[in-house]
Chain A
Amino acid sequence: MKSVLEWQIATVQAICQETHRVKTFTLALPDWSPHRAGQHYDIRLTAPDGYQAQRSYSIASEPERRGELDLTVERIENGEVSTYLHDVLIPGDQIEVRGPIGGYFVWEASMAGPLLLVAGGSGIVPLMVMIRHRRAARSTVPTRLLYSSRTAEDIIYAEEMDQLVATQPGLGIYHTLTRAQPHGWTGYARRIDVDMLREVATPLGSALRSYVCGPTSLVESVADQLTALGLPADRIRTERFGPTGGTL
């Protein structure tokens, strides 16, 4: 089998606009290897003069979908790689990728739970793949996602989330909108705080596993709040999404 560190040429099969700043790219790989929910792929772009830029993006598709993968990428203003992916790439184009990479921020159905997932913005991607994997593996591990977005329009995978909640036993998804809320909004309307975490997490009991992914400020404050709620450090897994959309 090919090493995960060898670069291969992926072909863009489809591009889906998720929100005004976020697209999902479906890539066909000549040498697909099984991944774990939460792992990354590296993308490398090479300019005509040889200059290279490389970024790491979370895999958005569940491991059960074989032969291809989805990468969901937020367009970062002035981002070297994400602007190219968003503004230039079209289906049929080819890009260099390698992966799957990483082993720290992963969850597999066999690891059980209960699961508390906390996301901010595009930090939802590795957590959504855990939920997709949970569905594909027919897991019924009690799972709650608390997802912070600026506005309703910024919620990534919104329709799929509604479907999942309606069809997947033991799954709850709770939104907070920090900047603006639509008329009649019944979800949270503030930044994640310790009271909100307590309300969402308490029904899961104390033996839960938590995964937190988002901007550094959110990750740090949520990790501190989970600690304050008594969760041991080894039950809190964090992944920071920098403004560059994940570098290197």
Chain B
Amino acid sequence: MDSQSTDQNADLMLDGNAVAGLLQEIFATEVTIAPVQCASCGQEGEVGTLLAFTQGPGVVLRCPACERIILRVVQTPQHIYLDARGAAFLCIPKPQ
């Protein structure tokens, strides 16, 4: 079970739009309009609507409906770690 308290501070909460640049680095395309489904509650919405917590060492994106974690991103000098186990799917547009 994810901790619901350690990284959650509503005053510092942003949304998926605020991490659009980081997500575009990972997916090589604009994904804030990409549909994503929460693996916990089944809510489907666009990545831009996810709740973003960016004050920690990484970025945590949570479901706006159930507040469970959908995506985690951590950057090291050489790599980007993406933990997407909270997403049932993320639908990314193919490059045209």
| A interface residues (Cβ-Cβ under 8 A, vs B) | 4-5, 40, 42, 54, 56, 98-99, 101-105, 216, 238-244, 246-248
Residue-wise, chain B 40-59 has the 8 Å CB interface mask toward A (1 for contact) of: 00000011110010110001
Pick the contact of B18 from A98, A243, A246 — CB < 8 Å? A246
6 inter-chain pairs at a CB distance below 8 angstroms, sorted by A residue, are A40-B20, A102-B48, A240-B52, A242-B12, A242-B54, A248-B21
CB pair B21–A103 under 8 Å, yes or no, is no
Pick the contact of B33 from A4, A98, A103, A242 — CB < 8 Å? A103
CB pair B15–A238 under 8 Å, yes or no, is yes
What CA separation (Å) do A56 and B19 show in the bound complex? Answer: 8
Pick the contact of A40 from B10, B21, B52, B54 — CB < 8 Å? B21
Residues of chain B within 8 A (CB-CB) of A242 are 11-14, 18, 54
Is residue B25 contacting chain A, with contact meaning CB distance below 8 A? yes
A239-B48, A247-B18 known, 9 other contacts, Cβ within 8 Å: A5-B25, A40-B20, A104-B16, A104-B48, A105-B32, A216-B14, A240-B14, A242-B12, A242-B13
Residue in A closest to B24 when the chains form the complex, CB atoms: A5
Is residue B8 contacting chain A, with contact meaning CB distance below 8 A? no
Contacts between the two chains (Cβ within 8 Å), count: 83
CB pair A248–B48 under 8 Å, yes or no, is no
CB pair B30–A239 under 8 Å, yes or no, is no
Pick the contact of A101 from B11, B13, B20, B52 — CB < 8 Å? B20
Check A243/B12 contact, CB under 8 A, given A103-B32, A104-B47: yes
B8 nearest CB across to chain A (Å): 12
Is residue B74 contacting chain A, with contact meaning CB distance below 8 A? no
Residues of chain B within 8 A (CB-CB) of A239 are 15, 17, 48
What CA separation (Å) do A56 and B16 show in the bound complex? Answer: 12
A4 nearest CB across to chain B (Å): 7
CB pair B54–A247 under 8 Å, yes or no, is yes
CB pair B21–A56 under 8 Å, yes or no, is yes
A76 nearest CB across to chain B (Å): 11
Check A5/B21 contact, CB under 8 A, given A102-B48, A105-B48, A248-B54: yes
CB pair A102–B55 under 8 Å, yes or no, is no
CB pair A101–B47 under 8 Å, yes or no, is no
Residues of chain B within 8 A (CB-CB) of A246 are 14, 18
Residues of chain B within 8 A (CB-CB) of A99 are 21
Is residue B22 contacting chain A, with contact meaning CB distance below 8 A? yes
CB pair B15–A244 under 8 Å, yes or no, is no
CB pair A101–B10 under 8 Å, yes or no, is no
Residues of chain A within 8 A (CB-CB) of B55 are 244, 247
